[in-house]
Structure 1
Amino acid sequence: MRTVGLIVEYNPFHNGHLYHLQQSRKITQADAVVAVMSGHFLQRGEPALLDKWARTKMALEGGCDLVIELPVAYATQAAEWFAYGAVSLLEATGVVESFCFGTENGELEPLLQAAETVANEPPAFKALLKQLLQTGISYPSAYSSAITAYLSDRGYASAANFPFALPNHTLALHYLLALKRLGGKMEPFTITREKAQYNQETATDSMIASATAIRKLLLEQRSLEAARSFVPESTLRTLQQEWSAGHCPISWEHFTSALLHAIVTRTPSELAELHEISEGIEHRIRNALPQLASRQFEDILEALKTKRYTRTKLQRALLSILLGHSKADFTQDKLASGVEYIRVLGFTEKGKHLLRRMRNSAKLPVLLSAARAPQPFRYLELDTQASSVYMLGVPGSTSAHSLFRDFTEKPVTVE
Structure 2
Amino acid sequence: MKTSAIISEYNPLHLGHLHHIEYTKKETGCDALICIMSGSFTQRGVPAIIDKWTRAEMAIKSGIDLVIELPVIYSVASAEFFSRGAVEILDKLNIINFLSFGSESGDIELIRTIGEILAEEPEAYTKNLKDNLKSGLPVTQARTNALKEYMKDKSIYKGSIETFLNSSNNILALEYCKALIKLNSNIKPITLKRLGDSYNTTVPKSAFTSATALRNIISSGAFGEIKKYVSEDVNKTIISLLENEYTFAFSEAMFPYLKYKLFTDPHLKGIPDAGEGLDNKLYKGALKSNCLEELIMHGKSKRYTYTRISRILCQYFLGFEEYPVELLRKESPEYCRVLAFNDIGRELLKEIKKKTELNIITKLPKNPSPMLELDIKSTKAYSILNPRIKPNEDYFRSPSYLKAF
Name the TM-score class by shorter chain: over 0.9
1:369/1:128 Cα in 2 relative to 1: closer, same or farther (>3 Å)? farther
**1:272 matched to which residue of 2?**
269
**Equivalent in the alignment of 2:330:** 335
Provide the rounded CA distance (Å) in 2 between the counterparts of 1:63 and 1:103.
Answer: 21
Q: 1:265 to 1:123 in 2, by over 3 A?
A: farther
Matched, 1:410 2:398: yes
CA contact (8 A) 1:50 1:247 kept: no
Instruction: Say if 2:270 and 2:325, in contact at 8 Å, map to a contact too.
Output: no
CA offsets, 1:177-206, max 9 Å, x none?
Answer: 10011111111101110112212212111x
Shift of 1:103: 0.9
Establish whether residue 356 from structure 1 lines up as the match of residue 350 from structure 2.
Answer: yes
In the alignment, which residue of structure 2 is the partner of 1:303? 298
Following superposition of structure 1 onto structure 2, how do residues 129-168 of structure 1 map, counting pairs within 5 Å?
Answer: 129-153=129-153, 155-158=154-157, 163-168=164-169
Partner of 1:241: 240
Match in the other structure for 2:375: 383
Q: What residue number does 2:278 align with?
A: 281
CA distance in 2, matches of 1:108, 1:343: 30
Per the alignment, do residues 354 and 396 of structure 1 end up closer, same or farther by CA in structure 2, a change over 3 Å counting? closer
Deviation, structure 1 residue 376: 3.1
Write out per-residue CA displacement over residues 35-83 of structure 1, whole angstroms, 9 at most, x where no aligned residue.
0000111001111101100110111101100000111100111111111
Question: What's the CA shift string for 1:59-116, capped at 9, x where partnerless?
Answer: 1101100000111100111111111001111112222111110011210111111222
One of 365, 368, 382 as aligned partner of 2:362: 368
Q: Distance in 1 between matches of 2:344 and 2:173?
A: 27
Rounded Cα–Cα distance in structure 1 between residues aligned with 2:19 and 2:99: 15
Distance in 1, matches of 2:273 and 2:337, equals 25
**Cα gap change, 1:181 to 1:170, in 2 (>3 Å):** same
Contact 2:40–2:51 (8 Å) recurs in 1: yes
Cα displacement string for residues 211-253 of structure 1 (whole angstroms, at most 9, x for unaligned residues)? 0111111112x13212110001111122122233333321012
CA pair 142-165 structure 1, distance change in 2 beyond 3 A: farther
Asked whether the equivalents of residues 111 and 176 of structure 1 are also in contact (C-alpha less than 8 Å), the reply is yes
RMSD: 2.0
Deviates further, 359-368 or 9-18: 359-368
Hey, what does 2:6 align to over in structure 1? 6
Q: Please show how residues 27-176 of structure 1 align to structure 2 within 5 Å.
A: 27-153=27-153, 155-158=154-157, 163-176=164-177
**Worse-superposed segment, 229-238 or 64-73:** 229-238
- Structure 2 counterpart SS, 1:12: coil
Number of equivalenced pairs: 401
Q: Any conservation in 2 of the 1:259–1:322 contact (CA below 8 Å)? A: yes
**Is the 2:37–2:69 Cα contact (8 Å) retained in structure 1?**
yes
Task: Verify: 1:314 aligned to 2:301, yes or no.
Answer: no
Aligned-residue offset at 1:121: 2.5
Give 2:287's aligned residue.
290
**Per the alignment, do residues 92 and 388 of structure 1 end up closer, same or farther by CA in structure 2, a change over 3 Å counting?**
same
Aligned twin of 1:22: 22
- CA distance in structure 2 between the aligned counterparts of 1:377 and 1:316, rounded to whole angstroms: 23
- Gaps in structure 2 of 5+ consecutive residues: none
Distance 1:359 1:396 in 2: 33
Report matched runs for 1:253-268 at 5 Å: 253-267=252-266
1:279-337 residue CA offsets vs partner (Å, 9 max, x unmatched): 41111011122222x2x21222233233432210110111121111138644499422x
Q: Which amino acid aligns with 1:68?
A: I
Structure-1 residue corresponding to 2:251 = 252
* Contact in 2 for aligned 1:69/1:345 (Cα 8 Å): yes
Counting aligned pairs with the same residue, the percent is 31
Contact 2:85/2:333, CA 8 A, preserved across alignment: yes
Following the alignment from structure 2 to structure 1, what is the Cα–Cα distance between the partners of residues 105 and 123? 30
- Say whether the 8 Å CA contact 1:149–1:160 is kept in structure 2: no
Whole-Å Cα distance in 2 between the matches of residues 330 and 245 of structure 1? 41
CA contact (8 A) 2:107 2:191 kept: yes
Kindly state the Cα deviation for residue 134 of structure 1 after the two structures are TM-superposed: 4.5
| SS of aligned partner of 2:176 | helix
What is the match of residue 187 of structure 1? 188
SS in 2 for 1:198: coil
Q: Is the 2:297–2:306 Cα contact (8 Å) retained in structure 1? A: no
AA aligned opposite 2:393: R
C-alpha distance in 1 between matches for 2:145 and 2:22 = 33
Q: Matches of 1:244 and 1:298 in 2, distance apart? A: 30
Whole-Å Cα distance in 1 between the matches of residues 226 and 139 of structure 2?
Answer: 34
Distance 2:385 2:311 in 1: 18
Preserved contact between residue 272 and residue 328 of structure 2 (Cα < 8 Å): no
Please report how far the alpha carbon of residue 208 of structure 1 lies from its aligned counterpart in structure 2 after TM superposition: 1.6
Contact 1:371 / 1:408 at 8 angstroms: preserved in 2? no
Distance 1:248 1:147, change over 3 A: farther
Deviation per residue, 1:233-274 (Å, 9 max, x gap): 11112212223333332101222222122212214xx32222
- Residue 179 of structure 2 corresponds to 178
Say if 1:26 and 1:159 are closer, same or farther in 2 by CA, change over 3 A. farther
Are 1:212 and 2:204 an aligned pair?
no
